[in-house]
Structure 1
Amino acid sequence: MADNFVIEHCNKENCKKIVSGINKYNLSKVPPMSDTWTPLEYVVKGKNNEEIAGILAGIGYWNGLEIKILWVKEEYRNNKIGTRLLTHVEKMAIDKGATIAMLDTFDFQAKDFYIKNGYSIIGEIPNFPKKHKRFYFSKRLTHSND
């Protein structure tokens, strides 16, 4: 049996099949709270319509806000743009039923930023990349009057 298969590069249809397969399995174990991925993707524009920041995030089956990327152009950092963007997405997620947020970052990226914004480190990988650390964060999301 172990010799009766080949490993090949994925095409788009293969990727869809893989995602569908894991989703089917996962949902057979834990019922969904939402039917689909709800993207929460925003861009911040400055003068002359210049893109100066953005966030790529979304809410998954179990009402978790997954933050994939939050970026602020270097010369605009430390001006609360990232905090306002993060707060905006958290509020949108709460309004859509999200109860937790999760993300990862590196020690040379935004570790302290997320701590300042109420996120807790739930795990880390030391020496990845070499001489650095990767951190995993989460934060309980609640309405401001909860």
Structure 2
Amino acid sequence: MEWLRDHLLWVKEEYKRKGLGSQLLKYIEKIALESGATISMLDTFDFQAEGFYVKNGYKVIGEIADFPKGHKRIYFAKRFDY
């Protein structure tokens, strides 16, 4: 495997802002790295987890405006340099 494709990372509202999401993401990235991945790719919407992924080292690589109407879908990537 050369990449990690995160299709769904969801944390119940009562557990948000306690570091659990970042811990889960780091654990998934660790497994991917140990399996030979060099990059992680994912997407989200601007009303969901945009700031979370930026905070965790992901860079915006593209977006679709008005998808859904009035919002945007954002695509991220993160290279494993560690």
- From 9, 16, 27, the equivalent of 1:70 is 9
Paired amino acid for 1:105 = T
Q: Which residue of 1 aligns with 2:24?
A: 85
The one of the two structures with greater contact order (alpha-carbon pairs below 8 A, sep at least 6) is: 2
- Aligned residue pairs, count: 82
Q: Which amino acid aligns with 2:80?
A: L
User: SS of the counterpart of 2:78?
Assistant: strand
**2:51 match:** 112
1:129 to 55, 68, 81: 68
What residue in structure 1 maps to residue 38 of structure 2? 99
Q: Return the offset for 1:142.
A: 2.8
After TM superposition, the score normalised by the length of structure 2 is 0.97
Looking at structure 1, the residues matched to 10 and 81 of structure 2 have their Cα atoms a distance apart, in angstroms, of 24
In 2: Cα distance, 1:142 partner to 1:94 partner: 10
Deviations 1:75-108 (A, max 9, x none): 1100000000000000110011000000000001
Give CA-to-partner distance per residue, 1:104-146, whole Å, 9 cap, x none.
Answer: 0000110000000000000000011010000000000133xxx
Following superposition, which runs of at least 4 residues in structure 1 exceed 4 angstroms of deviation? none
> SS state of the match for residue 71, structure 1?
coil
Where structure 1 has 5 or more consecutive residues not aligned to the other structure, the ranges are 1-33, 35-62
Q: TM-score, normalised by structure 1?
A: 0.55
Q: CA RMSD in A?
A: 0.8
Alpha-carbon distance in structure 1 between the residues aligned to 2:32 and 2:3: 8
What code does the residue aligned with 1:104 have? D
Q: Distance in 2 between matches of 1:85 and 1:141?
A: 16
Greater C-alpha Rg: 1
Structure 2 unmatched runs, 5+ = none
